[in-house]
Chain A
């Protein structure tokens, strides 16, 4: 009898919060459906690029404590983002590198070194539930990703077909092979606690004292923070006169002033609209490093303008394009 070859990975032990994510569910805000997607969009994109995937493929977003994942066949994977000391069986694997792993090896994350969430990509991509054109998990609506839920013990994610014969690329006695190309991400995550913002529409309505405090404060990220938003603790801020705002659209990175004088930074699972004063907006190029800050970490804000924010984002994206081309070239060379 011919053994059926399972193309999948299994969750032997669940982590704190592991969900299938992609670049988000774009274009449905008018139905109140928020885009969601990866908290660290840069790490997600690099994870896919390193293994030669299209940037729209799904990955697994992993928090700490991480899961134990068994690969049911040979795979090429990459782990990016936070450093949770990823290991295949008893061997450490580097972040930001593609790695070929042998069938039946176990990926696990024994220690937290740095960061808040990491991303696991698999060459070829993960099979997941697509809802409204996206694999992202919408936990509130319980749809998308893996049945709209976090991954639990015993869950199996099927992998898409891929054409590379990995067995031929693994040295005989070895369980893994680290491929030599990698992403240099130092620029993206350095000065991690300094977050650039542009002014929000209600910035002018802040008392001048409060405006000063936005930049002088060392804010602490509170434990209450999650994928929806980072609750910050700092001196109480106030508007110069009370405002009752009707809801308008907000975005990933919007800083809202809550009634108690504290700030919240909206993150990946933010609602589509909100009625709190918009004090500022974190620049897109700084969302990846913001997403890697943890409860208990400090951050401080610095002001910038739209032109600078755009330049930083565009140059970050241009470098990603170069990385993508390089990864594809290396991959082609390897398999030919």
Chain B
């Protein structure tokens, strides 16, 4: 059901496969929560992704504080195994409110709309309809502060990312494969951009500084360019 391997001498990963699966992800998040609630000294961070959870740790601190004869890797591996056994995946029925994200799907903000329209043989309206009619699950935050990975888009919208990244503006909503997500900062990016949200997904001054976290449910809704520019949504 899982494999555990090292990511260097200061990191370890519990890997449940390479698939986009909500139930699997909830188990991953539960393991993460358990580890954070049962911290051992030397634990630096616990990072959850689609179907893996990693622990970054300080081998010197662990070796200094605990008595064991195995490698530090084996010590942390045992903690991960315990977390796997002891943690319980959250239920879908633990209803969290669906977070609504306003998106302006105007071609000025969604410069890859025309490309997707051509490739997938869909009208722009159909793209907007398909993208905004689903409730997505947030699988992970990574790559950038506050960059969210949501899945899965309607299969008619599945489209590969660009071969080379181009400059992307913060707030841009994109699609890559069956994932959709929002760029939280200006940066180079390879996702196909279909619109932009006026929401700040990352704000260093806010607490927490990110709007979305893994396990959230999200729905997008269309706003006009006028609403986008006036800041009303």
Contact = CB atoms under 8 A, between A and B. Distances in A.
Interface string A25-53: 01111111111000000000000000000
| Chain A interface residue bracket vs B | 35 or more
A201 interface: yes
B8 A313 contact: no
B44 A31 contact: no
B18 A251 contact: no
Contacts of B185: 140-141
Interface stretch (A84-92, A152-160, A173-181, A281-289): A281-289
A246 B8 contact: no
Contacts of A234: none
Contacts of B51: 246
A303 interface: no
Contacts of A192: none
A98 to B, nearest CB: 24
A29 B46 CA distance: 7
Interface stretch (A114-122, A207-215, A271-279): A271-279
B59 to A, nearest CB: 5
A30 B63 contact: no
B145 A33 contact: yes
A77 B156 CA distance: 62
B145 A140 contact: yes
B142 A271 contact: yes
Interface in B53-73: 54, 56, 59-60, 63, 71-73
Contacts of A306: 6, 9, 71, 73
A324 to B, nearest CB: 13
Contacts of A313: 9-10, 59-60
A247 interface: yes
A249 B32 contact: no
B60 A317 contact: yes
A249 B18 contact: no
Given A33-B209, A281-B7, A314-B59, A247 B49 contact: yes
A54 B10 CA distance: 23
A248 B52 contact: yes
Given A26-B45, A281-B7, A310 B72 contact: yes
A310 B141 contact: no
A198 B6 contact: yes
B109 interface: no
B141 A30 contact: yes
A249 B49 contact: yes
A30 B46 contact: yes
Contacts of B59: 284, 310, 313-314
A220 B213 CA distance: 39
Given A141-B185, A249-B49, A307-B71, A32 B213 contact: no
A271 B144 contact: yes
A323 interface: no
Contacts of A32: 141-147, 184, 202, 210
Contacts of A253: 8
B143 A251 contact: no
A254 B8 contact: yes
A33 B45 CA distance: 11
B18 to A, nearest CB: 6
B20 interface: yes
Contacts of B52: 248-249
B18 A250 contact: no
B45 A29 contact: yes
B24 to A, nearest CB: 11
A253 B10 CA distance: 10
Contacts of B47: 29-30, 249, 272-273
Given A273-B143, A313-B60, A317-B60, A198 B54 contact: no
A306 B72 CA distance: 9
A65 interface: no
B136 interface: no
B214 interface: yes
Contacts of B49: 246-249, 273
A94 interface: no
Given A30-B141, A31-B208, A250 B7 contact: yes
Interface string B198-224: 000010100011100110000000000
A201 B184 CA distance: 29
B29 to A, nearest CB: 10
Contacts of A317: 60
Interface string B1-20: 00001111111010100111
19 contacts: A26-B45, A29-B56, A30-B46, A31-B141, A31-B209, A32-B143, A32-B145, A131-B204, A141-B145, A198-B8, A248-B52, A273-B142, A273-B143, A281-B7, A283-B8, A306-B73, A307-B71, A310-B72, A313-B10
Given A247-B50, A249-B56, 13 more contacts: A29-B45, A30-B141, A32-B202, A143-B204, A201-B7, A247-B143, A272-B47, A272-B142, A282-B8, A306-B71, A313-B9, A313-B59, A317-B60
Interface of B: 5-11, 13, 15, 18-20, 32, 44-52, 54, 56, 59-60, 63, 71-73, 140-147, 149, 177, 184-185, 187, 202, 204, 208-210, 213-214
The 4 closest A-B pairs by CB, nearest first: A281-B8, A273-B142, A249-B54, A309-B9
